[in-house]
Chains A and B, each alone.
Chain A
Amino acid sequence: MSNIKRCVSLYSYQDEYARGKMTLEDCIKELASIGVEGVEIISDQMLWNAPDVSDEDIANWHRIIRENGITPVCNDIYINTVLYKNRRLTQKENLALLKKELHLAHKLGIPLVRLVSLTPTDIIEDALPLAEELNVVMALEVHGGMAFDNPETKKFTDLMFKLNSPYVGLVVDTGIFCRKHPRVSTAFFLNQGLNPAVAEYIDNEFAKGKDVEAISHQRVLPDELESQIRSWVDREYVLFAGGYENHDFSVLDPYLPFIKHFHGKFFEMTEEGVEYSVPYKEFIDYLKEKGYNGYIASEYEGGRFALPGTEIDAVTQVRKHQEMLKKYI
């Protein structure tokens, strides 16, 4: 038993929410019923008019979490740098949006905001005094396809080391530790007409222990792969395949003091009670060895690969993922 804590990102229940099967309150009640300690939200997903949420909705949020005994852990935020069609926002505009988000997190009683990958780095230092005043940590997401070697991510980590502040850190998504391409993704794309030889090529790369990101996000694909590309679906599959990175856990070593939170990304809980792509037991063993005592938030992403005509059951998937986390923690 370690001090690692369990959380669920409401990202997991997005389909149930969109279709009106679960409200925000239903999601939090579900977490309480399965004994989860913390919740992560996406304010743009479940709080109307975010970041300008009404006082009434903020009061309602506090009631829901109080009644269910759930700790708010993280809010996933986005700076809408592409708000306009004809230009990107300026540094001042982006900074004003980030400050609004810090105020919202503070009002919601959430101590951490997750900045999506590629959030402009040039607004962080100017927002830091407000983050300190409101006691809200700003942490960049390190996500598959945009992990530590991405130049934009590196810009942020360089600044993070320079500032060396407890209010600037990272949220790491475990999708950077995929040992296999998610088979639910393969099944989805095969249904759309993917050439099976392309899927096989990607699976073989993983089997050899390679990081597919290094192939898929290049302008020119290896000849052997390019020669198998027959359609737009094939190209899309290869592009998305780069979103599942295959790193050793030791890639985290230099960043550990700055890691505030983990997204426990998962695509498919198998019959055996493990995740198909990410080796959670080994991951949690690594975190225990390093003395990590923050949260891991279940973040279910298999729903997007539901085959036409099939229902998404995120509730069951999250329950299984939580059982697994509990066992390994």
Chain B
Amino acid sequence: MFDNYVLSDNSLKNVKKDGKTVGYEMRTRITYYRGIPLSMVHDILVEVDDQPVPRENIRFSLDGELYFTLDEMATVTFYKWEYGQEGIIFVEQEGGLSEGEHKVKLTQVTRVAYIPVPFSGTQTKTMAV
């Protein structure tokens, strides 16, 4: 349904900090039709080349400056993820991903007041680093 918004095309890349590759990131739009405070993002799951990424290595950012862990996000009500806005999913991993293609699966789960169970969107894409 909204799954086509989960992974932005060609958005997978390694992230360098002070000359060292500290991880990788991808971009995602909300799989809902309106913006919500970050606390309503119930969960984010990442799999790369069929391997699940540990939850504590995942960070989320709206602006590329401020990053939240998933546990922190549960209380973030001040910042809103706007509809259509590309959020950044950063995965902390020394050395990042090897050059070439990787199969990435991203799942977003949000809470919606009028749907009794959290609502998820998933997309798998092969993207090159």
Q: Which residues of A contact B88 (CB under 8 A)?
A: none
| Shortest Cβ distance from A49 into B: residue | B80
* A17 with B113: CB separation less than 8 A: no
* B34 with A146: CB separation less than 8 A: no
Q: Does B126 contact A (CB under 8 A)?
A: no
* B42 with A85: CB separation less than 8 A: yes
Segment of B1-9, B89-97, B98-106 engaged in the interface with chain A: B1-9
Q: What are 12 A-to-B residue pairs whose CB atoms are below 8 Å? A: A14-B83, A42-B34, A48-B82, A81-B113, A82-B112, A83-B40, A84-B74, A84-B75, A116-B113, A117-B114, A118-B113, A308-B4
Chain B residue total in the interface (Cβ 8 A)? 24
| Shortest Cβ distance from B74 into A: residue | A85
Segment 75-120 of A: residues with Cβ below 8 Å from B: 78-86, 116-119
A77 CB to closest chain B CB (Å) equals: 10
A175 CB to closest chain B CB (Å) equals: 14
Q: Does B52 contact A (CB under 8 A)?
A: no
| Shortest Cβ distance from B80 into A: residue | A49
Segment 17-41 of B: residues with Cβ below 8 Å from A: 29, 33-37, 39-40
Question: With A83-B77, A85-B39 given, can you name 8 additional A-B contacts, CB distance below 8 Å?
Answer: A20-B84, A48-B35, A49-B80, A80-B37, A83-B37, A85-B42, A118-B113, A305-B1
| Shortest Cβ distance from B3 into A: residue | A308
Q: Which residues of A contact B4 (CB under 8 A)?
A: 306, 308
Chain A residue total in the interface (Cβ 8 A)? 31
Q: Does A304 contact B (CB under 8 A)?
A: yes
Known: A18-B84, A48-B82. A82 touches B34 (CB 8 A): no
* A45 with B113: CB separation less than 8 A: no
A98 CB to closest chain B CB (Å) equals: 12
* A304 with B42: CB separation less than 8 A: no
* B35 with A78: CB separation less than 8 A: no
Q: Does B111 contact A (CB under 8 A)?
A: yes
| Shortest Cβ distance from B41 into A: residue | A85
* A17 with B84: CB separation less than 8 A: yes
Q: Which residues of B contact A11 (CB under 8 A)?
A: 33
* A44 with B113: CB separation less than 8 A: no
| Shortest Cβ distance from B118 into A: residue | A82
- CA of A116 to CA of B33 in the docked complex: distance in angstroms? 13
Q: Does A50 contact B (CB under 8 A)?
A: yes
- CA of A82 to CA of B113 in the docked complex: distance in angstroms? 6
Q: Does A284 contact B (CB under 8 A)?
A: no
* 9 interchain residue pairs of minimum CB distance: A44-B34, A18-B84, A82-B111, A118-B114, A45-B34, A304-B1, A45-B83, A81-B113, A85-B74
Q: Does A19 contact B (CB under 8 A)?
A: yes
Give the residue of A46, A83, A116, A306 whose beta carbon is less than 8 angstroms from that of B114: A116
Q: Which residues of A contact B2 (CB under 8 A)?
A: 304
| Shortest Cβ distance from A19 into B: residue | B84
- CA of A3 to CA of B5 in the docked complex: distance in angstroms? 40
B44 CB to closest chain A CB (Å) equals: 13
Q: Which residues of A contact B83 (CB under 8 A)?
A: 14, 17-18, 44-46
* B113 with A78: CB separation less than 8 A: yes
| Shortest Cβ distance from A306 into B: residue | B4
- CA of A85 to CA of B43 in the docked complex: distance in angstroms? 10
A161 CB to closest chain B CB (Å) equals: 23
- CA of A42 to CA of B32 in the docked complex: distance in angstroms? 13
Segment 38-74 of B: residues with Cβ below 8 Å from A: 39-40, 42, 74
| Shortest Cβ distance from A236 into B: residue | B1
Q: What per-residue 1/0 map shows which CB atoms of B97-129 lie under 8 Å from chain A? A: 000000000000001111000000000000000
B5 CB to closest chain A CB (Å) equals: 6
Segment 31-62 of A: residues with Cβ below 8 Å from B: 42, 44-46, 48-50
Known: A49-B80, A116-B113, A304-B1. A82 touches B40 (CB 8 A): yes
* B36 with A45: CB separation less than 8 A: no
Q: Which residues of A contact B112 (CB under 8 A)?
A: 82
